[in-house]
């Protein structure tokens, strides 16, 4: 049953906790209908002179300001989503309950769960619950991130899986957690159904299967530690469908590039998108590109963009093509370059993709534009238009294996035709006769 409480979130600057350099933490205050307030740390700090009291956000376009404002936006979305889930399960909600759920804890400190555990044999009390197992697995992964053996971005994905599991338990079982012994094979199918159909904010099939795959790994971790006899969802197939993402046609890329866009925010996003189409850099890598990433290579001093990819740590390197050079020149005097030494201005991922939808309409593109599509388009241009080999494209994209690149670069008929026209004289004469093999 859904209650009718109202949630209020206030992000404020705790100036009393400012450090010697003038940076103070940003706090989120949770309020609802006369209940005692609760506070959440955002883990972000802003300088005393860079906090906007009116907008409750960091001023400027520095990396720190953008990251802080992105964190505020993400927390706002997550807290509202958790609040909606709690409304379905509780007649009365407190800010502390919402804080607990956001932090991955039981809303009511698992009083019901403790009651269940007390009724089990003593040995079972030593076995962690499902979410506790997830926490331990994530903690181990975090240690590997500290040792630079795993990517911080992948750690974010694991934390996302943990939050989705907690929300699913509330939705499906009206529970704050679950004993490992209670997890059955149907759990995987129900979780998948929840993510793709029943959740308020559904995700794609491939993304949902990835979440189930992560859950399977968590249960395998429990099996390895002898907390369960066998992984109950081991047989559930999590292999994502190898869905082909059609890249943009060159005529579409040209339409976007040549469109006269008068709105600055959209023009900047258009430039960033075209920049991705001709460099192949993922969003998080473009977001952090600085002048230090432009390296001169060879005797001629050819300019290249070189950076370790954030997701894999593998170096991705591409020559600075003329169209990229033109974009870089446009922002020589932009604050992103003069103040932050960033190559181009880039918004948060959510805002970036939102503006791309507007650009698609303006340019007459009849499909959704997003940052990942630009990466696929780059692979297609390099492979089919410019004739690079799959191995070369793999290196430019920063992939660990060519197998990953094969999902990006599909060989088109026109490339096969070009190659055939170039090499057919090796085997056949002008009359079409098979040439004699030289002995």
User: 176 or 120: whose pLDDT is higher?
Assistant: 176
Confidence of residue 355 (pLDDT cuts 50, 70, 90): very high
Instruction: Say if residue 403 is in the same domain as residue 266.
Output: yes
Q: What is the mean pLDDT of residues 103-119?
A: 56
Of 158, 46, 177, residue with least CA distance to 101: 177
174-178, 198-202, 243-247, range with the lowest pLDDT: 243-247
- pLDDT computed for residue 207 by the predictor: 86
Structural domain contains residue 312? yes
Structural domain contains residue 438? no
Instruction: Say if residue 301 is in the same domain as residue 409.
Output: yes
Task: Choose from 372-381, 388-397, 418-427 the range with maximum mean pLDDT.
Answer: 372-381
Of 407, 395, 406, residue with least CA distance to 316: 395
Are 406 and 397 contacting, i.e. CB atoms less than 8 angstroms apart?
no
- Two tokens at 224? 């390895």
Instruction: Say if residue 291 is in the same domain as residue 319.
Output: yes
Confidence of residue 311 (pLDDT cuts 50, 70, 90): low
SS3 of 339-370: the string is CCCECCCCCCHHHHHHHHHHHHHHHCCCCCCC
64-73, 340-349, 357-366, 428-437, range with the lowest pLDDT: 428-437
Last residue of a domain, one of 85, 103, 121: 103
Instruction: Say if residue 279 is in the same domain as residue 378.
Output: yes
Instruction: Say if residue 270 is in the same domain as residue 404.
Output: yes
- pLDDT computed for residue 149 by the predictor: 74
Please report how many Cα atoms fall inside a 13 Å half-sphere around the Cα of residue 348, on the Cβ side.
13
- pLDDT computed for residue 299 by the predictor: 72
- pLDDT computed for residue 437 by the predictor: 65
Q: Assess whether pLDDT exceeds 50 at residue 116.
A: no
| Separation of alpha carbons 319 and 212, rounded Å | 39
pLDDT digits (tens, 9 = 90+) for 257-291: 999 999 999 999 999 999 999 999 988 888 888 88
Structural domain contains residue 278? yes
Last residue of a domain, one of 243, 278, 301: 243
Q: What is the mean pLDDT of residues 20-36?
A: 90
Of 71, 75, 73, 93, residue with least CA distance to 83: 93
Last residue of a domain, one of 243, 261, 295: 243
Q: Assess whether pLDDT exceeds 60 at residue 1.
A: no
Of 310, 306, 328, residue with least CA distance to 318: 306
Report the sign of the C-alpha dihedral through residues 103, 109, 112, 113, in that order. Answer: positive
pTM exceeding 0.85? no
Are 195 and 241 contacting, i.e. CB atoms less than 8 angstroms apart?
no
The pair phi, psi for residue 94, each rounded to 5°, is -115, 155
Residue with tokens 């990396």: 63
Structural domain contains residue 430? no
3-state secondary structure (DSSP) of residue 402? helix
Instruction: Say if residue 94 is in the same domain as residue 137.
Output: no
Instruction: Say if residue 85 is in the same domain as residue 111.
Output: no
Instruction: Say if residue 223 is in the same domain as residue 281.
Output: no
Instruction: Say if residue 80 is in the same domain as residue 208.
Output: no
Confidence of residue 110 (pLDDT cuts 50, 70, 90): very low
3-state secondary structure (DSSP) of residue 108? coil
- pLDDT computed for residue 233 by the predictor: 92
Q: What CATH number is attached to the domain comprising 188?
A: 1.10.150
Of 242, 159, 259, 168, residue with least CA distance to 205: 242
Q: Assess whether pLDDT exceeds 80 at residue 195.
A: yes
| Separation of alpha carbons 286 and 345, rounded Å | 9
- pLDDT computed for residue 275 by the predictor: 95
Instruction: Say if residue 6 is in the same domain as residue 152.
Output: no
- Number of domains composing the chain: 3
The mean predicted confidence, pLDDT, of the chain is 84
pLDDT digits (tens, 9 = 90+) for 287-299: 888 888 898 876 7
- pLDDT computed for residue 114 by the predictor: 43
Confidence of residue 219 (pLDDT cuts 50, 70, 90): very high
Instruction: Say if residue 92 is in the same domain as residue 191.
Output: no
- pLDDT computed for residue 200 by the predictor: 85
Q: What CATH number is attached to the domain comprising 256?
A: 1.10.443.10
Q: Assess whether pLDDT exceeds 90 at residue 125.
A: no
Structural domain contains residue 427? no
Instruction: Say if residue 206 is in the same domain as residue 295.
Output: no
Structural domain contains residue 55? yes
- Two tokens at 319? 């020559």
Of 79, 159, 74, residue with least CA distance to 351: 74
71-75, 132-136, 225-229, 414-418, range with the lowest pLDDT: 414-418
Give the gyration radius of the chain's Cα atoms.
Answer: 26
| Separation of alpha carbons 306 and 318, rounded Å | 7
Domain of residue 306: give its range. Answer: 250-421
Structural domain contains residue 376? yes
Of 271, 282, 386, 369, residue with least CA distance to 324: 271
73-82, 156-165, 399-408, range with the lowest pLDDT: 399-408
- pLDDT computed for residue 124 by the predictor: 44
142-181 as b/e: b if 16+ CB within 10 A:
eeebeeeebbeeebeebeebbbbbbbbbbbeeebbbbbbe
Structural domain contains residue 439? no
Q: Assess whether pLDDT exceeds 80 at residue 117.
A: no
2-30 as b/e: b if 16+ CB within 10 A:
eeebebebebebeeeebeeeeebbbbbeb
């Amino acid at each position: 049953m859904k209650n009718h409480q109202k949630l209020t979130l206030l992000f404020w600057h705790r100036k009393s906790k400012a450090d010697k350099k003038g940076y103070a933490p940003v706090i989120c205050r949770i309020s609802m209908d006369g209940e005692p307030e609760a506070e959440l740390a955002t883990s972000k700090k802003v300088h005393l002179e860079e906090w906007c009291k009116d907008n409750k956000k960091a001023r400027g376009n520095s990396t720190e300001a953008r990251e802080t404002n992105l964190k505020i936006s993400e927390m706002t979305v997550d807290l509202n989503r958790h609040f909606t889930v709690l409304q379905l399960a509780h007649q009365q909600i407190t800010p502390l309950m919402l804080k607990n759920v956001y932090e991955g804890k039981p809303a009511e400190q698992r009083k019901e769960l403790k009651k269940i555990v007390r009724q089990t044999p003593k040995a079972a009390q030593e076995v962690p619950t499902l979410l506790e197992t997830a926490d331990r697995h994530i903690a181990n992964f975090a240690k590997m991130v500290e040792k630079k053996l795993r990517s911080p971005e992948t750690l974010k994905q694991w934390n996302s899986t943990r939050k989705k599991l907690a929300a699913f338990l509330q939705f499906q079982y009206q529970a704050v957690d679950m004993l490992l012994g209670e997890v059955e094979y149907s759990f995987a199918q129900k979780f998948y159904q929840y993510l793709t159909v029943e959740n308020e904010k559904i995700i794609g099939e491939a993304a949902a299967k990835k979440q189930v795959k992560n859950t399977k790994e968590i249960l395998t971790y429990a099996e390895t530690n002898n907390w369960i006899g066998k992984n109950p969802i081991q047989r559930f197939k999590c292999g994502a469908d190898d869905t082909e993402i059609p890249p943009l046609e060159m005529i579409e890329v040209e339409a976007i590039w040549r469109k006269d866009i008068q709105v600055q925010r959209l023009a900047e996003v258009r430039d960033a998108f075209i920049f991705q189409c001709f460099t192949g850099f993922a969003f998080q890598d473009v977001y952090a590109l600085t002048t230090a990433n432009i390296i001169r290579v060879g005797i001629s001093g050819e300019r290249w963009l070189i950076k370790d990819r954030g997701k894999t740590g593998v170096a991705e390197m591409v020559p600075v093509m003329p169209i990229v050079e033109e974009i870089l020149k446009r922002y020589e005097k932009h604050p992103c370059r003069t103040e932050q030494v960033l190559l181009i201005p880039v918004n948060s991922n959510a805002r970036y993709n939102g503006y791309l939808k507007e650009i698609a309409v303006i340019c007459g593109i009849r499909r959704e534009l997003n940052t990942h599509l630009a990466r696929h388009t780059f692979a297609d241009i390099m492979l089919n238009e410019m004739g690079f080999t799959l191995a070369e494209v793999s290196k430019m994209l920063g992939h660990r294996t060519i197998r990953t690149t094969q999902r990006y670069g599909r060989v088109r008929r026109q490339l096969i035709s070009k190659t055939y026209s170039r090499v057919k004289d090796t085997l056949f004469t002008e009359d079409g006769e098979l040439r004699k093999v030289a002995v």
